[in-house]
Amino acid sequence: MTRILSSSIFLLILFVSCSDRKPAAEMSDDELKSYASELAQKFIIVDGHIDLPYALVEKDYIAGVHSLDTLISTGKGEFDHTRAVKGGLDAPFMSIYIPIEYQSHPDMGKNLADSLINLVKTIAKGLPEKFALANSPDEIEKNTREGKISLPMGMENGAPVGNDLNNLDYFFEQGIRYITLTHNKDNQICDASRDDTHTWGGLSPFGREVVARMNNLGIMVDISHVDDSTFYEAIELSKAPVIASHSSCRAFAPLVMRDMTDDMIRKLGEKDGVIMINYYTAFLDSAVGNNTRRLAALMKEKGLKPEDSLGKAFEAEFREANPVKTDIQTVVNHIDHVVKLAGIDHVGIGSDYDGVDGNLPNGLEDVSKYPNLIFALLKRGYSEEDIAKICSGNVFRVWRRVEEVAKASR
Ligand SMILES: [Zn+2]
């Protein structure tokens, strides 16, 4: 009897909670906004790339590790706990970013990687009620249930691996779960999108071993920043699907070789990967990059320097006369484009917060703004199921597949 009664109550609750919401298409903007905020809290949101660790070290907006409490509400930069909670962010991939200068000094690169990894560990240890490390989708789900923000880690630039595959095992042990094979210059692993040298014509012989070892360990292969030739070689070689942790579509910014072409996006989809859309304005809209180039040329012609007051005034005047508006719609256009080419199962979010000097679309200024993106997606007709996939479902599917491939290889 009790069981019948409790299951009737359960069904009643289910009925009420399902039936009291009208379809998104019939909602007013205010209703849709609160629905979007609700979804941001309900779904796990994974962001593929946030440059907090390096920003903490380089840009001294937080004065040292001893003041971890300031991470709760810096009000500066694009990430802190308060804003992340407001935005519904659950798992920002902490970028262990290694600048290109370290490529010729892998030992120093390894030291830098260690110090950035230790910084992330210090944050999790120092604020255990608020943050936790996470090495898998399961751990992120557990942390989320416990009300903690997960801090998974990805390394941007494989330079610290040096020429020793054992370093991959070491970094896996340290919690690195993706490696962006290179940054803006060719390295010992592969060619980069912003380097015309074409040192290897794709992956180096060592780079091919790196991809195989990453597959065996369960480290996701991240093809953001790599040259097209590297992408095609890596995607053929990798036994597991690959990710682009923070990339956008080249269709909207034809000169940005760092973005993915339509053909690459289709290929990524066919191989069951995911592209996590980067918010950096110049990667989203070629007009932004064109303006920057024109401005630089004019400044040079006039002998002005960006840091001088005359240069600053000229830049302000130029930007006012040549406005380029990038907003949430611009980002949704990129998401739409991937969906059109590869389907809803292959797109995610990789903001690049704290790594793009504040050059972000209106309405997506920091980690409190994910609900704005969800609102715009609802307006475009994306369903709850679609939005769940964009927020984390797609990257979790890829990550779990990467874990399975690694397990099978042992
Ligand atoms: Zn990057």
State the burial class of residue 79 (Cβ atoms within 10 Å of its Cβ: 0-12, 13-18, 19+).
buried
Distances (CA, A) of 111 to 104, 338, 355: 13, 37, 21
Distance 157 CA to ligand 1 centre (A): 9
Integer Cα distance of 190 and 231 in angstroms: 10
Distance 50 CA to ligand 1 centre (A): 9
Please check whether residue 127 is in contact with residue 68, taking contact to mean a CB–CB distance below 8 angstroms.
yes
pLDDT in tens, 209-248: 999 999 999 999 999 999 999 999 999 999 999 999 999 9
pLDDT in tens, 287-318: 988 888 899 999 999 999 988 999 999 999 99
Distance 47 CA to ligand 1 centre (A): 13
Distance 233 CA to ligand 1 centre (A): 20
Q: What is the mean pLDDT of residues 89-107?
A: 97
In terms of Cα–Cα distance, which of 55, 91, 93 is closest to 74? 55
- The pLDDT of residue 63 is above 50: no
Assign 88 a pLDDT band (cuts: 50, 70, 90). very high
Integer Cα distance of 291 and 308 in angstroms: 20
Please check whether residue 291 is in contact with residue 322, taking contact to mean a CB–CB distance below 8 angstroms.
yes
pTM of the model: 0.91
Distance 344 CA to ligand 1 centre (A): 24
Distance 240 CA to ligand 1 centre (A): 22
- The pLDDT of residue 64 is above 80: no
**Token pair of 386, please?**
């679609």
Distances (CA, A) of 263 to 193, 342, 346: 16, 10, 14
Distance 260 CA to ligand 1 centre (A): 14
| Packing angle of the helix pair 370-379, 328-342 (nearest 10 deg) | 60
Distance 321 CA to ligand 1 centre (A): 30
3-state SS class at 110: helix
Integer Cα distance of 186 and 200 in angstroms: 8
Distance 385 CA to ligand 1 centre (A): 29
pLDDT of residue 97: 97
Distance 246 CA to ligand 1 centre (A): 7
Distance 350 CA to ligand 1 centre (A): 10
